[in-house]
Amino acid sequence: MSAQPEPGPTGVIHDIGYRNYDGPRYGRQQIARALFWHSLRGVYGLGRSGRSKVLPMLLLGVMCVPAFIIAVIANVGAIGLDDLPAPYTRYAVMTQGVLTIFLAAQAPQSVSRDLRFKTIPLYFSRPLERVDYVGAKFAALTVALFALLAIPLLIMYIGALLAEFPVGEHTADVALALVGALVFAAVFAGIGLVIASMTARRGFGVAGIITVFALSFAAVSSLQGIVGEIEGDMTAAGWIGLFSPVTLVDGFQVWVLGASSSAVAGPPGAAGGVAFVLATFGVIAGCWALLMLRYRKVFAS
């Protein structure tokens, strides 16, 4: 915010004394909504210092580059493609590195500051309840991550339309991919917030999130490679996918949205599909429960 210009020497400052406030006062729901918008803007550095905007905006740009390249390739007549070079549902898996960095940088920004500066008691001495605070933070980060995925998906979609690929088919595909993006966003936000809320130190939060996402994906995909391609047991390889957030939601997309798997192996059979769906919702619900538990402790202290 810029400083308001001070009145010049022509004016006289009168002390008008204290004025009581008798305007409207919003209830819990609207306060929670205000906190949601404040947090969402905060994730992208809006309304904060210029320096805070650099990283999220840079990562948003980086996220859009592959989509832009895909859209351009689709429109180069000489190549003569009749479909996009990569399906919409694979985009999150392709760009998971950028997503993870974004999450690692912005989840601690969203919750660790309140813990580090001990600002939490000021929220809890206001009408907000614990569920409102956790809900606003969770929703804000989910929406922020969803936007990070949805914008490149829409760039790809516009590219497909310009290349005069079948409109109906692409509209249906991108709609399903947006649903998948929302699930990706919720799972990433949940895990990111749980890790970030454990520590008041921002650095620990950043390191923890990167470690969990990168390690779990590296471990799962190399195990899947060994079990599936070397041992030839694709069923066991499929089950292993449950243990990393990226392959988990990828399996969800395969089973619920009919996408092709971007991992070594998708969920094995109907039982596998159901397990992936349940595990996906289980992770989101589990993160919610852990956050509520965590803030009960913060709340009471």
| Nearest residue (CB) to other proteins, 136 versus 291 | 136
Residue (of 245, 225, 246) closest to 237 by Cα position: 225
Q: Using CB under 8 A, pick the residue from 54, 117, 271, 293 that binds other proteins.
A: 117
7: number of CA atoms within 13 Å, CB side?
6
Question: Does residue 293 interact with other proteins by CB under 8 A?
Answer: no
Question: Does residue 3 interact with other proteins by CB under 8 A?
Answer: yes
Q: How far apart are CA 291 and CA 194, in angstroms?
A: 6
Question: Which 37-66 positions form the footprint of other proteins (CB under 8 A)?
Answer: 38, 47-49
Whether residue 28 contacts residue 127, with contact meaning beta carbons closer than 8 Å, is answered with yes
Alpha-carbon 23 to chain mean position: 37
Whether residue 85 contacts residue 79, with contact meaning beta carbons closer than 8 Å, is answered with no
Residue (of 136, 148, 73) closest to 291 by Cα position: 136
Question: Does residue 271 interact with other proteins by CB under 8 A?
Answer: no
Q: How far is the CB of 10 from other proteins (least distance, A)?
A: 19
Radius of gyration of the chain measured on its C-alpha atoms: 23
Q: How far is the CB of 5 from other proteins (least distance, A)?
A: 12
Token pair for 145: 């991550």
Whether residue 155 contacts residue 71, with contact meaning beta carbons closer than 8 Å, is answered with yes
| Nearest residue (CB) to other proteins, 31 versus 290 | 31
Question: Does residue 17 interact with other proteins by CB under 8 A?
Answer: yes
Stretches 119-127, 152-160, 229-237, 256-264: which one binds other proteins (CB under 8 A)?
Answer: 119-127
Q: Using CB under 8 A, pick the residue from 53, 69, 94, 127 that binds other proteins.
A: 127
Cα-based distances in Å from 4 to 1, 7, 8, 13:
9, 9, 12, 15
Q: How far is the CB of 53 from other proteins (least distance, A)?
A: 14
Stretches 120-128, 142-150, 190-198, 256-264: which one binds other proteins (CB under 8 A)?
Answer: 120-128
Q: How far is the CB of 207 from other proteins (least distance, A)?
A: 20
| Nearest residue (CB) to other proteins, 12 versus 18 | 18
Question: Does residue 14 interact with other proteins by CB under 8 A?
Answer: no
SS3 for 174?
Answer: helix
Question: Does residue 79 interact with other proteins by CB under 8 A?
Answer: no
Q: What is the four-CA torsion angle of 33, 37, 43, 47, rounded to 10 degrees?
A: -140
Whether residue 277 contacts residue 252, with contact meaning beta carbons closer than 8 Å, is answered with yes
Question: Does residue 201 interact with other proteins by CB under 8 A?
Answer: no
Q: How far is the CB of 100 from other proteins (least distance, A)?
A: 24
Q: Which residues bind other proteins (CB under 8 A)?
A: 1, 3, 17-21, 23-28, 30-31, 34-35, 38, 47-49, 113-114, 117-119, 121-129, 299-300
